Amino acid sequence: MMEVDGSNTSMNRAPPPPPQSSSLRSSRSKVLYQFKQQKLPACKPVLTPTSVITVFMLMGFVFIPIGFVTLRASRDAIEIVDRYDVECIPEEYRTNKLSYITDSSISKNCTRYLKVQKHMKAPIFIYYQLDNYYQNHRRYVKSRSDQQLLHGREYSHTSACEPEESSNDGLPIVPCGLIAWSMFNDTFTFAQLKVSRNNIAWKSDREHKFGKDVYPFNFQNGSLVGGAKLDPKVPLSDQEDFIVWMRAAALLSFRKLYGRIEEDLEPGSVVVVNLFNNYNTYSFSGQKKLILSTSSWLGGRNDFLGITYIVVGASSIVISIIFILLHLKNPRPYGDNSWNKKSLSS
């Protein structure tokens, strides 16, 4: 497709002899001359049928294997998805889920049994997934104070945190803002399984964004309690749940890392999860899911990438075949001089 067109056509007129003081200078002045006269040696790509077919074919033959490899990787990741937001509501509340979730006197305890279909190798990641939840809402995303998270109560410019900036008595809230206030508060406990809840947040977040001596203060003391409470004795940089929650999701359906199961799960075994279904997603008809997933080198299970690679690869091969067929049906000799002569004679 590309061809280097160096000295041949682009320099067919010799530059005036440059001063021959030294070869370096003359070559530099030659380059300068070519530059000024717009005759720099250039590569001029030409789309000949051969190059077009080559490009499409090459693209097909590279993309399809990549597609299969990534698809394979995606399939290697084994996933157990359990939607529990409906199941965990007693039958009598099914018609009015909102009253169930907002009534704090009702126990939210719920037990789920997850059946393992295939062998899952440790570490198995535990996620919770929320759907139809706009963590990317502008008001929501802006409602935090990075300075306060890092420096604590002393930092008072927290107007972005409105209306969760300070409590009615004027005391500042640490951590302030809607994101912190609405923190997810369903809890999951796994019987007989070794579960680690550490190292679930990004290292840079723990070290640079959340203060080591910043302790929650006056948090969830308002008239309206949003989500989870934080242990006021633990510094923010150690509250990894919180750090994970504070990293806003891009889209309205997202997963957040909850912990890791540090042992393999055998096929046929059942994982028993005790959970407290506290978080209100019912008012905006969001779903809640619990996910157990292993990861391949590519990450979790998502066939989209692999399939798209295959589709794009295949379609470029199809295009090239169409091109070849049309070309054969309608061949045009390249480098035909005749048309030019005729046009000149007119």
Q: Which is nearer to another protein, 179 or 275 (CB)?
A: 179
Cβ atoms of 3 and 46 closer than 8 Å: yes
Q: Does 297 bind another protein (CB under 8 A)?
A: yes
Footprint on residues 87-106 left by another protein (CB under 8 A): 98
Question: Least distance from C-beta 204 to another protein, angstroms?
Answer: 4
Cβ atoms of 154 and 138 closer than 8 Å: no
Q: Does 296 bind another protein (CB under 8 A)?
A: yes
Question: Least distance from C-beta 196 to another protein, angstroms?
Answer: 11
Q: Which is nearer to another protein, 233 or 342 (CB)?
A: 342
Q: Which is nearer to another protein, 100 or 309 (CB)?
A: 309
Question: Least distance from C-beta 225 to another protein, angstroms?
Answer: 11
Footprint on residues 24-83 left by another protein (CB under 8 A): 36-49, 52, 55-56, 59, 63, 66, 70, 77, 79
Footprint on residues 128-167 left by another protein (CB under 8 A): 129, 133-141, 146-147, 150, 162-164
Question: Least distance from C-beta 312 to another protein, angstroms?
Answer: 5
Strand segments (E) across 150-197? 187-190, 195-196
Q: Which is nearer to another protein, 111 or 285 (CB)?
A: 285
Q: x/- site string to another protein, residues 216 to 255, per CB under 8 A?
A: ----------xx-------------------xxxxxxxxx
Taking the alpha carbons at both ends of the chain, their separation in whole angstroms is: 34
Cβ atoms of 245 and 209 closer than 8 Å: no
Cβ atoms of 256 and 242 closer than 8 Å: no
Neighbour-count burial of 224, counting CB atoms closer than 10 A to its CB (0-12 exposed, 13-18 middle, 19+ buried): exposed
1 CB-side CA count, 13 A: 9
C-alpha span between 63 and 60 (Å, rounded): 5
The interaxial angle of helices 49-76 and 304-329, nearest 10 deg, is 160
C-alpha span between 185 and 196 (Å, rounded): 18
Question: Least distance from C-beta 36 to another protein, angstroms?
Answer: 4
Q: Which is nearer to another protein, 106 or 111 (CB)?
A: 106
Instruction: Identify the residue whose tokens are 């979790």.
Output: 300
Binding footprint of another protein, residue count (CB under 8 A): 111
Stretch that binds another protein, among 17-25, 105-113, 266-274, 292-300 (CB under 8 A): 292-300
Question: Least distance from C-beta 31 to another protein, angstroms?
Answer: 10
Closest Cα to residue 239, out of 264, 210, 272, 280?
A: 210
Cβ atoms of 141 and 248 closer than 8 Å: yes
Stretch that binds another protein, among 22-30, 83-91, 103-111, 319-327 (CB under 8 A): 319-327
Stretch that binds another protein, among 17-25, 85-93, 235-243, 334-342 (CB under 8 A): 334-342
Helix %, strand %, coil % for the chain, to 5? Answer: 35, 15, 50
Please select the residue that binds another protein; options are 97, 206, 260, 288, rule is CB under 8 A: 260
Q: Which is nearer to another protein, 233 or 335 (CB)?
A: 335
Q: Which is nearer to another protein, 239 or 293 (CB)?
A: 293
Instruction: Identify the residue whose tokens are 């994970």.
Output: 244
Amino acid, single-letter form, for residue 44: K
Q: Hey, is 91 helix, strand or coil?
A: helix
Q: Which is nearer to another protein, 218 or 280 (CB)?
A: 280
Neighbours of 263 (CB within 10 A): 15
